[in-house]
Amino acid sequence: MIDDAIRVLAGDCTVIAEGTDRSEYRGRVTTIVKPDNTVLVHDVDGYQPVAWLTRADSVSSDRSDGFTLVAKKDTQTLRIAAHEQDGFAHYPASAAGTPVGTCPDCDSALVRSSGVNCVGCGNRYGVPTDATIRDDQCDCGLPRMRVERGLAFDVCLDRNCESLDDAVREAFDREWNCPEPDCDGDLRILRRGGLIAGCEHYPDCETGFAMPTGVVDGECGCGLPTFEASTGTRCLDATCEQVLEGPLEVGSDD
């Protein structure tokens, strides 16, 4: 069940906006309260609201004398009083995005928008921004995605079903030596916000590199691998300027 909802109040209303200045309007308007407490008051003219308050700290309503909606943020107040109410309702809302499949839990559409979200039950799955959602499905019923992190990995959207971290770790954990002078450590695949290749001797050695988008295709002049991505060839160390071309066989001891 979706927790987020859009609230709508329509009717003949007086709208008072108070802050640095005070503005007052009256007309037959429609007020929209979004799930993040942004309040928008629209009239018949134009696309821009006649009054609004972005991400209010609080939004309250009082039906004891007609209908009044009050939104407050810091020193700003937006008050909408309905003299004649045409309607007031809560409507379920979800993220909107490109359809990518069907939710196996409720048969509603899955859409891609800041991840992948179900428009029915509200299930949400974190997806890397560079991931490609595939047409084929995992055994759990969710679509699979392709992500390039040294190799091209095809895994389930649900990391609890198939873990991208585990797949990258299996392929590249301890695959490369720490480039720090006088350090005999290997680079481990770890998650620190994102996936990184970090020295096993941390915190004594703080060397670490974010795993870039792309496929390993060679060795840099500094000894670290190079990655071929849509933007070109780069070293695992994004600050390195010694990029050389040449094949590197994953799993070799060279």
Shared domain for 71 and 102, answered yes or no, is no
Domain-located, residue 28: yes
Sorted by sequence, the CB contacts under 8 Å of residue 120 that are 6+ apart come out as 2, 94, 103, 106, 107, 108, 109
Number of independent structural domains in the chain: 3
Helices (H) and strands (E) in the chain, counts: 1, 20
Mean pLDDT (10-residue bins), the chain, 254 residues: 77 95 96 95 93 95 84 96 91 91 95 93 91 94 96 95 95 95 94 92 94 93 91 92 56 38
Q: How far apart are CA 122 and CA 1, in angstroms?
A: 6
Q: Provide the token pair at 70.
A: 């009050």
User: Would you state the pLDDT for residue 19?
Assistant: 92
Domain end among 112, 138, 169: 169
Domain end among 147, 169, 191: 169
Residue 216 sits in which domain range? 173-235
pLDDT digits (tens, 9 = 90+) for 168-194: 999 999 999 999 999 999 999 999 888
pLDDT digits (tens, 9 = 90+) for 66-107: 789 999 999 999 999 999 999 889 998 888 999 999 999 999
Shared domain for 85 and 139, answered yes or no, is no
Q: How far apart are CA 29 and CA 100, in angstroms?
A: 36
Q: How far apart are CA 29 and CA 10, in angstroms?
A: 6
Domain end among 92, 107, 125: 92
